[in-house]
Amino acid sequence: MTKPIPEDGLRGPHLIIAVITLVIAVAMASLDTSIANTALPTIAIDLHASPADSVWVVNAYQLALVVSLLPFASLGEIIGYRRVYVWGLVVFTIASLLCALSWSLPTLTAARIIQGFGASGVMSVNTALIRFIYPSRSLGRGVGYNALTVAVSTAIGPTIAAGILSLGTWQWLFAINVPLGLVAFVMSVRILPDTKRAPHRFDLGSAALNATTFGFLIFGIGEAAHNANLLITVTTLTIALAAGLTLVYRQLGLPAPMLPVDLYRRPMFALSSLTAFCSFSAQGLAFVALPFYFQTVLGFSAVETGLLLTPWPVMTAIAAPIAGPLSDRFPPAILGGIGLGILCVGLALVATLPDHPDIPGIVWRMLVCGTGFGFFQSPNLKAIMSSAPPERSGGASGIVATSRLVGQAVGAALVALCFGISLLHGPSLALAMAAIFSGAGSLVSFSRMATKAPGRGGLR
């Protein structure tokens, strides 16, 4: 059913319902990138699989997600963001049911691949939809809520998984998505607006090159993180590099490239994307290193570690909605630079904790980290989306999600490198490296002050 294209966003109850459906779907897709990690030992025992083989429950989802983000974003420009979003939600919900009904590791892995493609349909266009749901004067608030949803959902995934596993079996981690997905589907079909459609055709060749580039890149990073054979790792990354260069060359002559090289010619977009990569690399480093740091180095229990990690997402939840509206009044370059500067300080403080720190000392440092991370995300997301013309919202939205996933994968691989250097000091080294990424991102963010900000016409 065709929906009218709004002149300047939705109003009243329609806006509220549209926001709710986006929050539900994006939260589910974000949670499922991390929620399975906690259940891997339980899944491996129940399905009689080895720990190494069970890792594919996570890898399959992430690979399907990352190889299809940009193709689905491009498809959204052609057939409408709403249609890609709704079908992504349908596939994700059905695949969640299949995951819950899986009886072996191969069937669960296959279901997770399907679930990853569904999540990609949701996450590739959700940021683009925000531009057509919120009035232009409230765009910062909209991206603030979106950044809050992604950041908090990713951070609290392990905590939610532990809670569900304490009450039931691992199947409920996936079954719980089914009723939520049905609710989001009904609301999205009734409320989400249609958007203008681009005249160009879908580029199958670019989609294949994109899948090869990012698929082999993530696989190669994962192999490096697990100390795989050097020849396999080098070969995998070489294939990714060759496919990536071919992809870029192919995109240069296209009016609406799938890999948005046209948008990278805009300094604000290029610098904002680089800032996003730095921030998510820092997050990937920190979220993988901190549990080891608290348990292995400082000697806290698993439950205590979960509680010590909680202040970060709590402060992110508080800071992101504040930073969103502020980005409607102040330059995102300044707000983002301040946020990443605060995160850099917080990570440095955590990395230099004394040998026997007290719990309040840890908590306030984690609060600083969460404040900086939450304060950065909303303004930077707005900068990325507002620096792209409305007809290229799909490409910009795809880059947002791709920057997050690749940054987190790079961060996780660097943690493995730090552990290889020193088992004892590896976590502290990884946290120091996360602080460096945050500091670099802060400098890149401030450098955007020298670029020309887009006019009001660039917001929609």
Q: For the chain (length 460 residues), average pLDDT per consecutive 10?
A: 57 79 85 71 78 70 84 86 91 95 90 92 83 73 70 71 78 90 89 76 86 84 67 87 90 79 84 90 83 79 73 82 80 90 95 87 93 85 78 73 78 74 79 94 90 47
Q: Residue 252 and residue 275: Cα distance in Å, rounded?
A: 23
Does the pTM surpass 0.75? The reply is no
Distances (CA, A) of 178 to 5, 20, 89, 95: 29, 16, 10, 9
Query: Considering the domain 262-460 in this protein, what is its CATH number?
Result: 1.20.1250.20
Specify the DSSP class assigned to residue 265: G
The secondary structure of 101-169 as a DSSP string is T--SHHHHHHHHHHHHHHHHHHHTTHHHHHHHHS-GGGHHHHHHHHHHHHHHHHHHHHHHHHHHHHHS-
Residue for token digits 């921030």? 279
Tell me if 129 sits within 8 A of 192, measured CB to CB: yes
Tell me if 118 sits within 8 A of 88, measured CB to CB: yes
Output the pLDDT for position 325: 79
Query: Considering the domain 1-201 in this protein, what is its CATH number?
Result: 1.20.1250.20
Distances (CA, A) of 431 to 291, 301, 315, 329, 346: 11, 20, 19, 33, 10
Residue for token digits 């940021």? 127
Output the pLDDT for position 345: 95
Q: What is the CA radius of gyration of the chain?
A: 21
Q: Residue 288 and residue 411: Cα distance in Å, rounded?
A: 8
